[in-house]
Amino acid sequence: MRQGPLPAPAARAALAPMPSLTAFALAYVRIGLIGFGGVNAWARRVLVEERAWITEQQYAEVLGIAQVLPGPNALNVAIQLGERWHGAAGALVGAFALFSGPLLVLVGLALLHDTYGEVKLVQAVLAGTAAAAAGMILGTALKMITKLRPSWPILLMGGLALAGALARLPLPLIVLGLAPFGIAAAWWGARR
């Protein structure tokens, strides 16, 4: 099949060349280790803003697929991008790079937490960081919306996903229930 009339993202010209396996692995080690408060926001930051390996639209699409597939989203993104750029080796490297650093940190934290978890200062620092991390996630979503300039049906779909999640509907229901309408909205947008 030939390519459909979806608009090519304007930023494509500004993309960097495809990363080497090593560069990809290092980027994912970085994403894992600085990924405080939500890895997806950091993956977007590194892949789209810092390295310019993919566009805003491409990242949002890979993340969308990752949410429909079962399993951790950040992992599904790493595996899809790794496979796209370096086949099976890329997928494996992406998954290991994403998880190995944080796992080591967690072992250390688990040991420390048993000793210092009740200390007031530790709890205060964690509370402040959690509040800022929530803002980081909100800001990332707003930035994506600003850059993607969605059509109104697409915006409506995003609003419904937001509302459904805030109503605490089960995520599989939201994702699978809204997917057909999202696809219809994309189709409607591409026709115009």
Partner 1 sequence: MNDSPLFQLALGFVALSLIAVGGGIAVVPEMNRLAVDVHGWMDDARFAQLFALAQAAPGPNVLVVGLIGWQVAGLKGMLVATLAMTGPAGLIAYGFSRFRRRLAGARWLRLTEAGLVPIAVGLILASGVILGQAAALAPICVALTLGATVFVWRSDRSPLWVLAAGALAGAVFL
Long-range contacts of 67-71 (CB under 8 A, 24+ apart): 67/175, 68/175, 68/176, 68/179
Give the contacts of 94 (CB within 8 A, at least 6 positions apart). Answer: 24, 25, 28, 78, 79, 81, 82
The residues in 7-36 that bind partner 1, with binding defined as CB under 8 A, are 32-36
The distance in angstroms from the start CA to the end CA of the chain is 20
Closest approach, Cβ 15 to partner 1, in A, equals 17
Tell me how far CA of residue 136 lies from CA of 83, 102, 145, in angstroms: 29, 19, 14
- Check binding of 129 to partner 1 (CB under 8 A): yes
20/117 with CB nearer partner 1: 117
The residues in 43-82 that bind partner 1, with binding defined as CB under 8 A, are 45, 49, 57, 60-61, 63-76, 79-80
Closest approach, Cβ 104 to partner 1, in A, equals 10
The residues in 77-96 that bind partner 1, with binding defined as CB under 8 A, are 79-80, 83-84, 88, 91, 95
The identity of residue 170, as a single letter, is: P
The residues in 162-181 that bind partner 1, with binding defined as CB under 8 A, are 162, 164-166, 170-172, 174-176, 178-179, 181
